[in-house]
Structure 1
């Protein structure tokens, strides 16, 4: 006998033969579905067809085990009950039977379930009586929801009616309670995913705006209205035809992503991980173009879909609430707006009659702190009016003035966020619409461009708050100096708006900002400031993280580019907000101090005048005297101060801060020749960040040993400053932060471990070996190694490569094996990208430091590549 076609019920035989034949048939059908998926067959047809094929096998297995006239009934529940099955979705079944029948048919049911397992079906099942269904559903709303979507597979009409009666609103979960519980469930589920769909690895099913949100609306409609068909909600005024069409369009798009994800993962996977994103984008037909990767296009489609699902879902939740609670009593605000159960609503059914009405809505919203949100009817009216809302280039001057009033009024950032979420900002500034939902396929930018922009604006708003944010040392002091904060908000709005166009986004954004400022009527000076901030928004960050800001020449160059204190104030605040808004993990104590130090040094340089740059000798003298004053204030005698200073390197006074120098000096008390002294102190206002000072006799491998030990202690080095002291000693300083904020070593433990290690044999000190995190495997960066000569006869090594745990320790060990000395190091990590700078020298036959010649450079390049290529393997 020839085998059955894909999807056909298998022939009779032993249970083992039946299960094997069923597994084979289901496998062939799965392959056929995958081929049809790749041929762009409608995904609703595919999930429905898979459910029908599974139905055939489930019902035949039931017939093999349970007599037709037996006192048991079989139902599909959950997603399977809806009649849709994705490639690896669970097969959820409910057997309805009274307790006596359950006991009587226990062996038959065990055989039935075993058959399905052996056939390869991912089975979930429950055996309950009608009263047990009532009890279970009442105790757990997820059980209630699953039964709510039950579909009979082998159940006569009376049994179906009995199941419906078992979960009737009179017994369990009446409409109000069901709605409140499902709404709370939705909120908690969103909270577990960070209350945003803009995650780098979003959950297509359970994340905000995912398929579960659409299903929740169906469940609510079924319990409250009596139908799960959203189209039927049009007739009762709960949804507009356009809203239903949008929900269905986005549901199909999300379903297609989920179907493809299941195929790629070959398992029940709902999280769109980096492992699958590029492959799925290719499988769905996306291609790279105009500097935008195919995966970025696919993900932008997801983020936009999820955002729209959330937006329409919020409206429908309100309407369900009104269906249950009744029409609210309106509380007038003014002639145009009112509150309905705390939601802001337009009083005129014809609203909006003009674009000015739309901006008036946001103005009224900003003036009230008691608004829960936008009323669903007004939100829908706004959505329908968006196509008629002009962009700023074609808007009249009165609308320009109204927009600027919003920026100058109360809650300007909240207003911009609302405008963005409701689609108004994208209409007003078309370039913002182009970056809405736009992600960048890396680990540095953890938000879409529009969400990052809103996060930056939120950070700027926090600087104006009366509640001091301890993450930012100077921001709350600088903010009050701004004469027109709205200009900084405009710069924040435009700073990344040029991304995704294939050019320098700072320059493209600067062009956009200038055109916007000119069009809406800002004066030339104001427009120039906004444009300059957008073009230079990366200047302060790159200067602080990639250059030595203790060098007076670096400060003078930066101050010359900034030119005046007003620009400096704006740039400092924008830089802090930008870095902190890029990733929750990116802003740390080290970056805070870097930006604060650069800001302070530049402000002093501007006050002194750019025509009077500070020389290194002057800086050293100023630092020495300031450190002396600090020590004297704590009772240190002049003679002791001079003795301590004499044991410290001169360059330290040029490059250090006075408090740092005074701390190092005190640390030298009691140190005898040959001693190792380590001191640790927290960075001011940041308990988790530390400064580590190491004073020791110099010897080969010392720097490598320090780095390896700090790595073992779970401390990530952000900056290393290596100075040679008198009498063959070293003065090394490290800025460190915990690699894992959950495990912060005590300063005393760091001191003891380092002193113990450095007092022993250094040859045995090795960095720990760690497994590379999963997500880093998808962001391989081709190593870039460069060399430059610096002042003072040193060679600067620049290294760009994929970051990983223990990278710095391995690099410094490679430097050690090449017999090189490290004099300075700056460590920067941007997502998966490490960008490190080292100042190194070779040692000649007389023990003198020399820059690296070409032979040495090539040897070091080869050794580093071998180290990094070993990681790739």
Structure 2
């Protein structure tokens, strides 16, 4: 039975052979039918599950068959046209992915016509080649890159440009002079490769660094670039090119035989290469064009077409992306180590210089040889005789500031798992591991290296399940393992920090007694996500943390603290976003749960690191304010559980606040007026606003009372105050007005209709009916501070809205109806269900409505409009927006 490639060759001969003198350019329809036939056949084979490399090889062979037949027809046509005139020495050569036989369905085709120097642009053969070859390919709508060069030109260009040199080491002859092609190979090797090995390695590493900076330095990008991204096909090719320069082989098997790849690494590279080609084939078929970026919108379809058949679309995507990330991570880690080893390996036949010999400072630590700041690879038997030394290796590197030599990293990856159950339960290994976690400020690099070599996952199988695990959540942009390690990096930055926001946590971090438990809690806080349980992940994580604690033999006290931190790692921000953090009852509830000041300190640090490890964009001025407000209030409660000192302190603070307000006021206010204002507000008012803002509120209220609206029944109006909060990147607008039904909705509508987006809002109502509404806003179109035009437009619209003289709904719709970028994120990209809850117990006279949903411009206006239409009156509100999610709480009657 014929193979697929043999069938392709036979089809090309049968369908594309032209009679003597036949012109290829006259046979476009014939070639188009041939290409269409094989495209459909190969696409069907792809969907049947054929490997990525097999389809690419077949795609290459299809083009080979057509080009060979075209070239033969050109040769016969030339002989018939010019008779005995000598045929020039030329060779048609494939370059790039076509030269590698890795042609994806819509890939570019790179060709070079090599000649012996006698072929000018006006030569009859050149004119025929252009007409019959290039124009034919163009008319077939193939993306072709071509060049015409001599041997000397090839050598000159290769030695001038590293990328050109790379293209000339992976060429393939399609048709023409075999002797000329062999001469090209010989000259490229002798004049461009030999004695240029280290220079090429250096240039390739530099090119890779630049590429990773441009396309992303992580193999787990949300929308990975399959070709140029970290761990993509280009990284794999880089490894192959370096192997050719250093060892003169294209075969991965030779790298294995030479000791550069372990058997496991060899298998991982082959599988990863094939998987990426298969995904890229699918992208080309799906889009009917060359594309390398796996956009989120394509991921569900690609996953389904590649055979991921779980009933849950979310699970299909997660499994597919985890497989992709795992393969890209393997390419990244293996190729990086191999490149470092190639860079350090001397060229054959070259002795080390005297200078390098002098600089080789060496000594031994715990049986490990250290040379020039690198721990070198010991004999294999070292770890087999004493598996505990495997963990000590990383502690030594951490404490001495040493690097692991690339040979040692390669050696560690090749070890069969020494981390068996006895190893995991070994008390000395546990103590060494906890010593690593105790080194405040230098934990993350060691854990990352342990993760990359496989030891971390071997020692903590619960963590191993997080490797390349996708998080389809609004807040997360990294895989779970990467997020966890980034959290630990953020905690490291707190140690001896001098810059914000880290420095404000430094004193607490320096004084805590259990840094190793804090680091361990961060390491385990999301392990529950690897179980795909229906329970909240923090509950599952707690049970897995208990499992770890029991296995490694943590003390009862440390275990209790670890479980508390893991289970409550979201607690502080849940309180901040769902409850009134200025309510003493809420603070008492938090204090009762946390129990001790030490726990509170650890939870503060964990919350901070978890937030920044998710995304630094999440650490906003408001998040910082909420976190510190909770911390300080709860710490006071824990330090003075009976509240006696707080009563005295509250009286003192009240007096000091009134004095500060009087100092900030423009003048004309008495002690009694300020005291009355505070009495007319809720208890949380003076906790939220500092003296300067309260003073401004008093001035606005006085202006409102003295203005046209001194009588609430007269023409409604409002006082507006704007503040530019440059450190928070937004503006704060305060609106003071007599309360009317729907007031909050009208203000929200006026802001939205003025082109502003609201990401925080609060209402405070005085007992005499005066409302203070505070909003933090941005220009919706440019995400910048509101312009003077926006502010003036808002004032005009609000005045008309208060008099019911404008249709806000029409204004909002008119402003945004032609702006699809202002629409909510499609649900196929994210899955964030809307949740609505009602609480009729916490506030005696009111009902609390809480809505959690995907954020979009105009959301707050939409919600308040719906509540107003239901006949409710909003008397208090708190809005919290973060990374695409909004949590809005309303107190309604």
* TM-score, structure 1 as length reference: 0.87
| Per-residue deviation, 1:148 | 2.1
Provide the residue aligned with 2:120 in structure 1: 101
Aligned match for 1:153, one of 174, 186, 189: 174
In the aligned structure 1, how far is the partner of 2:118 from the partner of 2:681? 87
Segments of 5+ residues of structure 2 without an aligned counterpart are 1-7, 80-86, 710-716
In the aligned structure 2, how far is the partner of 1:120 from the partner of 1:341? 57
Aligned match for 1:553, one of 571, 575, 585: 585
Aligned match for 2:544, one of 502, 512, 518: 512
Q: 2:786 aligned with 1:733, yes or no?
A: no
Q: 2:583 aligned with 1:583, yes or no?
A: no
Q: 2:699 aligned with 1:669, yes or no?
A: yes
Q: Map of 1:378-417 to 2, 5 A cutoff?
A: 378-391=408-421, 394-409=424-439, 411-417=442-448
Contact 1:702 1:758 in 2 (8 A): no
Provide the residue aligned with 1:352 in structure 2: 383
Q: 2:471 aligned with 1:440, yes or no?
A: yes
Provide the residue aligned with 1:423 in structure 2: 454
| Per-residue deviation, 1:830 | 6.3
| Per-residue deviation, 1:593 | 1.4
Contact 2:754 2:794 in 1 (8 A): no
In the aligned structure 2, how far is the partner of 1:729 from the partner of 1:576? 38
Q: SS in structure 2 opposite 1:367?
A: helix
Provide the residue aligned with 1:58 in structure 2: 67
Contact 1:440 1:448 in 2 (8 A): yes
Q: SS in structure 2 opposite 1:462?
A: helix
In the aligned structure 2, how far is the partner of 1:214 from the partner of 1:280? 22
Farther off after superposition, 567-576 or 93-102: 93-102
CA 1:635–1:735 in structure 2 vs 1: closer, same or farther (change >3 Å)? closer
Q: Deviations over 1:67-86 (max 9, x none)?
A: 47345431110011011211
In the aligned structure 1, how far is the partner of 2:689 from the partner of 2:827? 39
Q: 2:37 aligned with 1:28, yes or no?
A: yes
Farther off after superposition, 766-775 or 209-218: 766-775
Farther off after superposition, 63-72 or 187-196: 63-72
Q: Map of 1:195-274 to 2, 5 A cutoff?
A: 195-274=217-296
- How many residues in Structure 1 have an aligned counterpart in Structure 2? 832
In the aligned structure 2, how far is the partner of 1:454 from the partner of 1:289? 32
Q: Deviations over 1:750-788 (max 9, x none)?
A: 755544543445625533423147776422545444444
Q: 2:500 aligned with 1:469, yes or no?
A: yes
In the aligned structure 2, how far is the partner of 1:712 from the partner of 1:6? 66
Q: 2:82 aligned with 1:76, yes or no?
A: no
Provide the residue aligned with 1:322 in structure 2: 344
CA 1:103–1:795 in structure 2 vs 1: closer, same or farther (change >3 Å)? farther
Contact 2:661 2:691 in 1 (8 A): no
| Per-residue deviation, 1:216 | 0.5
CA 1:697–1:80 in structure 2 vs 1: closer, same or farther (change >3 Å)? same
Q: Map of 1:713-752 to 2, 5 A cutoff?
A: 716-725=757-766, 728-736=769-777, 743-745=783-785
| Per-residue deviation, 1:200 | 1.4
Segments of 5+ residues of structure 1 without an aligned counterpart are 842-850, 852-873
Q: SS in structure 1 opposite 2:376?
A: strand
Provide the residue aligned with 2:48 in structure 1: 39
Contact 1:550 1:656 in 2 (8 A): no
Q: 2:164 aligned with 1:143, yes or no?
A: yes
Contact 2:660 2:691 in 1 (8 A): no
Contact 2:252 2:266 in 1 (8 A): yes
CA 1:567–1:219 in structure 2 vs 1: closer, same or farther (change >3 Å)? same
Provide the residue aligned with 2:82 in structure 1: none
Q: Deviations over 1:307-326 (max 9, x none)?
A: 22222112211221133467
| Per-residue deviation, 1:113 | 2.2
Contact 1:559 1:610 in 2 (8 A): no
Provide the residue aligned with 1:449 in structure 2: 480
Q: SS in structure 2 opposite 1:275?
A: coil
Aligned match for 2:16, one of 10, 24, 46: 10
Provide the residue aligned with 1:848 in structure 2: none
Contact 1:447 1:582 in 2 (8 A): yes
In the aligned structure 1, how far is the partner of 2:109 from the partner of 2:335? 28
Contact 1:23 1:120 in 2 (8 A): no
In the aligned structure 1, how far is the partner of 2:754 from the partner of 2:517? 45
| Per-residue deviation, 1:188 | 1.7
Aligned match for 1:459, one of 487, 490, 496: 490
| Per-residue deviation, 1:19 | 2.2
| Per-residue deviation, 1:130 | 3.3
Farther off after superposition, 769-778 or 359-368: 769-778
Provide the residue aligned with 2:4 in structure 1: none
Provide the residue aligned with 2:850 in structure 1: 798
Q: SS in structure 1 opposite 2:729?
A: strand
In the aligned structure 2, how far is the partner of 1:474 from the partner of 1:734? 27
In the aligned structure 2, how far is the partner of 1:520 from the partner of 1:91? 57
Contact 2:32 2:140 in 1 (8 A): yes
Q: 2:398 aligned with 1:377, yes or no?
A: no
| Per-residue deviation, 1:681 | 4.2
Q: 2:603 aligned with 1:571, yes or no?
A: yes
Contact 1:827 1:835 in 2 (8 A): yes
Provide the residue aligned with 1:49 in structure 2: 58
Q: 2:108 aligned with 1:90, yes or no?
A: yes
Farther off after superposition, 97-106 or 521-530: 97-106
Q: 2:538 aligned with 1:538, yes or no?
A: no
Q: SS in structure 2 opposite 1:199?
A: coil
In the aligned structure 2, how far is the partner of 1:152 from the partner of 1:265? 31
Provide the residue aligned with 2:721 in structure 1: 679
In the aligned structure 2, how far is the partner of 1:750 from the partner of 1:196? 41
Q: 2:688 aligned with 1:688, yes or no?
A: no
Farther off after superposition, 402-411 or 180-189: 402-411
CA 1:466–1:620 in structure 2 vs 1: closer, same or farther (change >3 Å)? closer
| Per-residue deviation, 1:494 | 1.0
Contact 2:300 2:313 in 1 (8 A): no
Contact 2:47 2:305 in 1 (8 A): yes
| Greater C-alpha radius of gyration | 2
Contact 1:825 1:836 in 2 (8 A): no
CA 1:126–1:643 in structure 2 vs 1: closer, same or farther (change >3 Å)? farther
CA 1:736–1:338 in structure 2 vs 1: closer, same or farther (change >3 Å)? farther
Q: Deviations over 1:710-768 (max 9, x none)?
A: 5577765333111234665320112456779x853168777555445434456255334
Contact 2:757 2:778 in 1 (8 A): yes
Contact 2:850 2:888 in 1 (8 A): yes
Q: SS in structure 2 opposite 1:425?
A: helix
Q: 2:819 aligned with 1:778, yes or no?
A: no
In the aligned structure 2, how far is the partner of 1:526 from the partner of 1:736? 45
Contact 2:378 2:408 in 1 (8 A): no
Contact 1:798 1:835 in 2 (8 A): no
Provide the residue aligned with 1:163 in structure 2: 184
| Per-residue deviation, 1:17 | 6.0
Q: Deviations over 1:827-847 (max 9, x none)?
A: 445655x34333154xxxxxx
Q: Deviations over 1:422-472 (max 9, x none)?
A: 1111000111111111112333321111111111111111222332332x5
